[in-house]
Amino acid sequence: MKRLERLCAELGAPAPEVVWGEGLGYRNRVRLAVRGRVRSPKIGIFREGSHDLVDIPRCLVHHPLINEVCAAAKEAIRQTRTPPYSDAAHAGVLRSLQVVVERQSRTAQVVLVANGPSPADLEALAAALTELLGTSLHSLWWNGNPERTNRVLGPSWHAYRGPDAIEDEFGGARVFFPPDAFGQANPELAARIVEQIHRWVPPASRVLELYAGVGAIGLGLLRQGCSLELNEVGPGSLRGLARGLTELRLRQVSEEPDGSFVWAPDERVERGRWTTPARVVPGPAEEAVERLRGPDVVIVDPPRKGLGPEVCGALCAAPPERLVYLSCGIDSFEREARALGEAMQLERVIAYGLFPFTDHVETLASFRNRS
């Protein structure tokens, strides 16, 4: 907070505000490592700076259903004698669990990450886990990650059973998260962030969102009469984004020479009279910078490393009327806010404590074109 206070003072903005949510039971999304032995499996996180697993069977920040899934997974491992992964030997079958709780149904999307190339390796475990979880299971997936790597998920996917995506609502729009799409771990507070962003976007604005994910921020703006361009690179997020656009009664009507996809309302398409309310621009944000010269509002939600010099430089060269920046990395935000402050006025900063009991915040900032 001291760093954000200094930054606001330096750039002529009011002192940052702070928003907190619930401290316990808030986390709806986790990736947990699986280690130990068949008779005594461990599911948890690594001790800092090591591969020593800390078993966390009753984590208080997890949604209670996540702890239930972990307990059921341990029992399924024992029943089926499925060997957990060993880092040193690069042996064993089950490496990790990804669990996402769907808020409305209170059911769990579960991904079994395997040290192997075939879903057959975990079919017995999947059947046992399905029986143990019963109606608490939303869907069950296999992910193959047979390489020696610290990356959790591998490139291969197989659906054992259940719907293809978790459904949620943000900003009045239904949003869909396939298992390989990014989502916030604290959805209650994330929804409040989306509401604040929508308050900063005037109705009927031309909006460009870079790093759009599945559309949790952007899709609700279509209900405000905004025209919308959404840039995203992740395959899972792009599938979720397409599903969300379809639920808004839009359909893809053309693929443009630049590789973007135009979506328009069904009724207007059928009558042959329509404008372009939505456009999906697949690929890295760096390849979409030429689109920064058209919109009234630009929304960016980059990874921890920030926008990078190409995107940040393009925003400084052609500042929109308003820029909304949601940052998960304080170092990159400080650096880029100072650069952006030369072309735009920092108006407001809100720090959201998405991860209580840590020093991490999500920083939401609004910049206005000085001209």
- Asked whether residue 179 is assigned to any structural domain, the reply reads no
Please give the mean pLDDT across all residues of the chain. 94
Residues 6 and 41 in one domain: no
- Asked whether residue 287 is assigned to any structural domain, the reply reads yes
- Asked whether residue 168 is assigned to any structural domain, the reply reads no
pTM, rounded to two decimals: 0.94
Q: What one-character DSSP code corresponds to residue 203? A: T
Query: How far is it, in rounded angstroms, from Cα 256 to Cα 32?
Result: 41
Residues 100 and 237 in one domain: no
Letter for the amino acid at 280?
V
Closest to 307 in 3D by CA, of 367, 226, 219 = 367
Per residue in 177-219, pLDDT tens? 999 999 999 999 999 999 999 999 999 999 999 999 999 999 9
Residues 68 and 143 in one domain: yes
Query: How far is it, in rounded angstroms, from Cα 58 to Cα 68?
Result: 9
Residues 144 and 228 in one domain: no
- Asked whether residue 94 is assigned to any structural domain, the reply reads yes
- Asked whether residue 170 is assigned to any structural domain, the reply reads no
Q: At what angle do helices 330-340 and 308-317 cross, to 10 degrees?
A: 30
- Asked whether residue 177 is assigned to any structural domain, the reply reads no
Residues 97 and 210 in one domain: no
Contacts 24+ apart (CB under 8 A), 119-127: 119/144, 119/158, 119/160, 121/93, 122/82, 122/93, 122/94, 123/160, 124/80, 124/82, 125/76, 125/77, 125/80, 125/82, 125/94, 126/160, 126/161
Name 324's Cβ contacts closer than 8 Å, sequence gap at least 6: 197, 200, 201, 297, 298, 299, 300, 364, 365, 366, 367
Residues 143 and 44 in one domain: yes
Residues 119 and 230 in one domain: no
Radius of gyration of the chain from Cα atoms? 22
Q: Which domain holds residue 124?
A: 29-163
pLDDT per residue as tens, the chain (371 positions): 999 999 999 999 999 999 999 999 999 999 999 999 999 999 999 999 888 999 999 999 999 999 999 999 999 999 999 999 999 999 999 999 999 999 999 999 999 999 999 999 999 999 999 999 999 999 999 999 999 999 999 999 999 999 999 999 999 999 999 999 999 999 999 999 999 999 999 999 999 999 999 999 999 999 888 999 999 999 999 999 999 999 988 889 889 998 999 998 876 545 544 445 799 999 999 999 999 988 999 999 999 999 999 999 999 999 999 999 999 999 999 999 999 999 999 999 999 999 998 889 999 999 999 87
Residues 190 and 280 in one domain: yes
Which CATH number is 97's domain given?
2.40.50.1070
Count up the domains in the chain and report the number: 2
